[in-house]
Amino acid sequence: MAWLRYPQMSAPRPLSEAPLRLYAELAHWWPLLSPPSHYGEEAAELLPSLLGAPDAAPRTLLELGCGGGSLAYHLKRHLQLTLSDRSPQMLQVSRDVNPECEHVCGDMRTLDLQRAFDVVLIHDAIMYAIDAASLRATMATAYRHCRPGGGLVIVPDCVRETFTPDTSTGGEDAPDGRALRYLEWTWDPDPVDDTFEAAYSLLLRAADGSVRVELDRHRCGLFSRVAWANWLQEAGFTVASRTDPWRREVFVCNRIR
């Protein structure tokens, strides 16, 4: 349809630059893209790893890269949560969902709260560490915030051995008439390097019925199981891993005293 013009996709931006549009000016749409209702089964599956990673029953948890707080929504009844993210807009979404939790704005590679927690959790935000230096810096942040004997759980969307190109769709409707539908498309344009691409096409319907299209393109890190294990051990953790029901590698670690 020649009359419908789509905005041109911008080139991927490194992690060190401003947050991607999905986590900045489009963040207020997040509850219709990835709401807490999507995370109940995943949180229940992950909880035993979070509770079992430390050397004693945990009480406190720090999540690095909490995003909109949809996973935290299900974990806060079990643990006292501190939620961090580099995007102020996403933190506001999380505050709306989790007002009883502490929220801190900061980059997962450099955050320093000057205190330690029983467990540190890094979910899919780790995918934005697109080089070894960023990944190792994030592991150092986790070590810095994990008490001796405490646990670290990391859940990347994929490792090199499990990556497959994919297309997924979804979206939700809001009571006020707004609605969102999305297409997510992932592929690896260069199998030799340590990244893959993810493109998002968002159809956004406003409360007045008007519809617009927004596009966003992300670059994500892709590293082998061996690289992950080596860097975690280098950071000061013992490492175990398992595959969850969604074929994701779950790294369950303990900080060496």
SS3 80: strand
Superfamily of domain 21-158+224-255: Vaccinia Virus protein VP39 (3.40.50.150)
- Taking only Cα atoms into account, the Rg of the chain, rounded to an integer number of angstroms, comes to 18
d(C-alpha 132, C-alpha 48), whole Å = 29
Res. 68 pLDDT band, cuts 50 70 90:
very high
- 124-146, pLDDT tens digit by residue? 999 999 999 999 999 999 999 99
Q: Per-residue pLDDT for 75 more than 70?
A: yes
Res. 226 pLDDT band, cuts 50 70 90:
very high
Q: pTM to 2 decimals?
A: 0.92
CATH of 160-221, picked from 2.40.50.140, 2.20.130.10, 1.10.3720.10, 3.10.20.600, is 2.20.130.10
Tell me which H or E stretch contains 166: strand 166-170
Res. 257 pLDDT band, cuts 50 70 90:
confident
Domains in the chain: boundaries: 21-158+224-255, 160-221
d(C-alpha 246, C-alpha 66), whole Å = 20
CA angle at residue 228 from 225 to 229, to 5 degrees? Answer: 85
